[in-house]
Amino acid sequence: MTLTEPKRESGAERDAAVCRPGPLAAHRRIQFSSPASNPIAAILWTRQLRKSFSAGGATLEILRGIDLALQPGELVAVVGESGCGKSTLLHVLSTLDSASSGEIYFAPRGTMADHRANPDAARREAPGAPSAVAPASTPAPVCLSRLGAEALAEFRNREIGYVWQMHHLLPEFTLLENVMLPRLIAGETPARAAAAARDDLASVGLADRAHHRAGELSGGEQQRGALARALTLSPRLLLADEPTGNLDEATGERVFDLLARLHRERGLTTLLATHNAQFARRCDRVLRLHLGQLAPLAPAGPSASPVSG
Ligand SMILES: Nc1ncnc2c1ncn2[C@@H]1O[C@H](COP(=O)(O)OP(=O)(O)OP(=O)(O)O)[C@@H](O)[C@H]1O
Ligand SMILES: [Mg+2]
């Protein structure tokens, strides 16, 4: 199924279709012990993450105790019916929104979990970023829920790239200026930020669009620009919320291919929310969000059904 086809199946049927094995598919169970422990060398893990909204006098419990662990270098898809809470989960993980309760942990740089799949990724580290060389003693995990607002904003800017369904490029700025912004916020000089942003635009095939305003670009170009902006500071985690959701099939495929290539080349850990079964199948793992819980999808087959995590 692709985005451009009508959604004929029920949510469960559609999600089950996602787990027919693809070339990269591997379905693994997640093991946990104590809240701050990191037994599987995850780069990010959560403990009993909950998120509720109050609306019209009612409380909507959207996330009901999410235990998620992402291993370094994984490309993981989150699927689920519209309204199940995929965007809510990504917002909370990105720290753009706060959880109602529960915790999010990040492996510190310089540990085994800070592996980069591609050594080139280490060379792309932004100036001033903490060293990725393993220290003599293992630093403690970063508990995001315990960081103050300023430290959290700095952490987010540096470590987490986010791509939305709508690109959210600033329309009054050029593409180059949009991509420079995270670096300027991180304190780089405009000259350095511009040089790096030019490289980032070249890596998404937009070198010749650097001085176009965001509104002058096609949908696919805007999303490629948004990817360049999300990745300019070499974050360790990329969160992508239906990044191809507003694109036609062919353009969506090109953007997904680009995302998958950058994920691989830069040694990223990526969590992708998608309704597109083909893209989900190309990920390393597929998780289904249903009734506020995440569960791995079992490989499809006569007895295949979502299993609890
Ligand atoms: N700020 C908010 N206040 C109240 N309810 C909200 C808020 N944000 C999201 N919700 C509700 O939470 C639920 C989950 O929304 P969310 O956008 O996370 O779903 P989704 O899985 O991303 O859906 P889609 O696939 O359509 O993008 C929805 O019922 C939505 O109305
Ligand atoms: Mg959504």
- Closest ligand, as measured to the CA of 82: 1
Find the domain containing 207 and state its range.
Answer: 11-296
Cα of 62 to ligand 2 centre, how many Å?
A: 12
Backbone angles phi, psi at 207, to 5 degrees: -55, -35
Which residue from 106, 126, 130 is spatially nearest to 36, judged by alpha carbons? 106
Within 8 A by CB and 6+ apart from 212, the residues are 174, 175
pLDDT given for residue 38 in this prediction: 58
- By the 8 A CB rule, do 13 and 296 touch? no
With a 6 Å cutoff on the Cβ, whether 62 touches ligand 1 is yes
Tokens of 50: 């909950």
Residue that has been written with the tokens 């959560």 in this structure: 46
With a 6 Å cutoff on the Cβ, whether 88 touches ligand 1 is yes
With a 6 Å cutoff on the Cβ, whether 292 touches ligand 1 is no
- Closest ligand, as measured to the CA of 294: 1
Residue 239 lies in a domain: yes
Helix, strand, or coil (residue 164): coil
Residue 305 lies in a domain: no
* Atom in ligand 1 nearest the alpha carbon of residue 84: 21
3-state helix, strand, coil in the chain (%, to 5): 35, 20, 45
Residue 302 lies in a domain: no
Per-residue pLDDT of the chain (309 residues; tens, 9 = 90+): 232 333 334 544 444 444 333 333 333 333 344 445 554 689 999 999 999 999 888 999 999 999 999 999 999 999 999 999 999 999 999 999 999 999 999 998 766 555 554 444 444 444 444 443 444 556 788 899 889 999 999 999 999 999 988 878 998 899 999 999 999 999 999 999 999 999 999 999 999 999 999 989 999 999 999 999 999 999 999 999 999 998 999 999 999 999 999 999 999 999 999 999 999 999 999 999 999 999 998 554 443 333 333
* CATH number reported for the structural domain that contains residue 238 in this entry: 3.40.50.300
Residue 304 lies in a domain: no
Residue type, 155: F
Residue 305 CA to residue 298 CA, distance in Å, equals 6
Residue 272 CA to residue 217 CA, distance in Å, equals 24
With a 6 Å cutoff on the Cβ, whether 300 touches ligand 1 is no
* Atom in ligand 1 nearest the alpha carbon of residue 89: 18
Cα of 88 to ligand 1 centre, how many Å?
A: 6
Tokens of 57: 């006098």
Size (the chain), residues: 309
With a 6 Å cutoff on the Cβ, whether 82 touches ligand 1 is yes
The structural domain count of the chain equals 1
Residue 5 lies in a domain: no
With a 6 Å cutoff on the Cβ, whether 98 touches ligand 1 is no
Residue 80 lies in a domain: yes
Q: What is the pTM of this model?
A: 0.81
With a 6 Å cutoff on the Cβ, whether 166 touches ligand 1 is no
Residue 248 CA to residue 16 CA, distance in Å, equals 24
* Atom in ligand 1 nearest the alpha carbon of residue 90: 18
Q: Which of 49, 86, 90 gets mutated to test ligand 1 (max ligand atoms within 8 A of its CB)?
A: 86
Residue 178 lies in a domain: yes
